[in-house]
Amino acid sequence: MTSYKVLVRDVIKKADVLLEVIDARFPDETRNNEVEKEIIRLKKPFIIVINKCDLVSKDKLEKTKARLSRIAPTVFVSGKARFGTTMLRHQILASACIKGQDILVGTLGYPNVGKSSVINGVTGRHRASTSPVSGHTKGVQHVGAGSRIMFVDTPGVIPFDENDDYVQGLLGIKDATHLKDPIGVALKIIEKMLVENKTALEVFYNVTLETQDSYSGLELIGKQCNFLQKKGEVDEMRTAIRIINDWQTGLLLI
Ligand SMILES: Nc1nc2c(ncn2[C@@H]2O[C@H](COP(=O)(O)OP(=O)(O)OP(=O)(O)O)[C@@H](O)[C@H]2O)c(=O)[nH]1
Ligand SMILES: [Mg+2]
């Protein structure tokens, strides 16, 4: 594969407007500083697209939008539920600021954040191929969206530190059984939910979490799911895999 830096630079250079697609559940983890700097360096307009907005509460969404709007125009959408895509189309036309010509829209972001799904949301058709398996879009693809808009779909080109099990687990880049440390990742998910939406976690697993301790949370959830080993202690690995699966399939909502 072409070096990601070359690919990203090339897309930024050619595009009239850039979309930085991020995941509503972890906006900060999915923003990329290097990409933003390069866009700003080349003085290109960009839009922050908070995708998968169907997976978070309206309250969290509004707060994230208010915070990120200070950096660039920000819209929230759901590529899957086709929500917010008309607003995004308007924002693209407003940001491009070129009259009468076609607008080339570069789409950048981490693997699996939903770049291709956002494009399909705006085109109203399944023109860009999508998949739950990350790394799906292989090369740069052009996708026409009518009324002067032409998208450039890219592969999830931002590389991960191979050791970053947590982000790979959070983003569903690797499924639970392929992570190096599923228990560690599940604990991080619990930690994140304890801070952001403890009630959702409690309701989903039908448990009451007395402390902010993620390890006790894992144990309680394991017990409640009846994931026990022979001697009666909680099967932590099985519990962790269940939590990661629930998170990655969008059953566990922040
Ligand atoms: N719940 C929800 N899921 C979404 C949304 N957008 C995309 N997905 C899911 O996320 C997964 C990845 O979507 P893609 O559009 O293929 O993501 P991508 O960023 O193009 O991924 P790569 O091409 O692999 O880098 C698929 O399983 C989609 O169904 C959304 O708005 N909400
Ligand atoms: Mg794709």
Residues 186 and 242 in one domain: yes
pLDDT, mean of residues 109-118:
92
Range(s) of the domain holding residue 36: 4-153
Residues 147 and 219 in one domain: no
Residues 114 and 202 in one domain: no
Residues 145 and 201 in one domain: no
Domain-embedded: residue 158: no
The CATH number covering residue 139 comes to 3.40.50.300
* Boundary (domain end) residue, out of 91, 118, 153: 153
Summarised one tens digit per residue, pLDDT across range 121-149 is: 998 878 788 877 777 777 788 988 887 89
Using the atom order of ligand 1, give the atom closest to the CA of residue 55: 1
| CB 115 less than 6 A from any atom of ligand 1 | yes
| Most ligand 1 atoms within 8 A of CB, residue of 21, 22, 83, 112 to mutate | 112
Domain-embedded: residue 254: no
Summarised one tens digit per residue, pLDDT across range 218-248 is: 999 999 999 999 889 999 999 999 999 999 9
The CATH number covering residue 193 comes to 1.10.1580
* Boundary (domain end) residue, out of 123, 153, 183: 153
Domain-embedded: residue 159: no
| CB 217 less than 6 A from any atom of ligand 1 | no
Looking at ligand 1, which residue's alpha carbon is closest to its atom 23? Answer: 137
Summarised one tens digit per residue, pLDDT across range 17-76 is: 999 999 999 898 889 888 899 999 999 999 999 999 999 989 999 999 999 999 999 999
| CB 80 less than 6 A from any atom of ligand 1 | yes
| CB 159 less than 6 A from any atom of ligand 1 | no
pLDDT score at 163? 52
Which residues hold their Cβ within 5 A of ligand 2, which is an ion?
115-116, 137
Domain-embedded: residue 253: no
| CB 248 less than 6 A from any atom of ligand 1 | no
* Boundary (domain end) residue, out of 153, 181, 196: 153
Residues 230 and 193 in one domain: yes
Residues 142 and 24 in one domain: yes
**Nearest by Cα to 221 from 202, 198, 245, 248:** 202
Contacts by 9-13 with C-beta closer than 8 Å and gap 24+?
A: 9/38, 11/106, 11/108, 11/140, 11/152, 11/154, 12/38, 12/39, 12/42, 12/44, 12/106, 12/108, 13/42
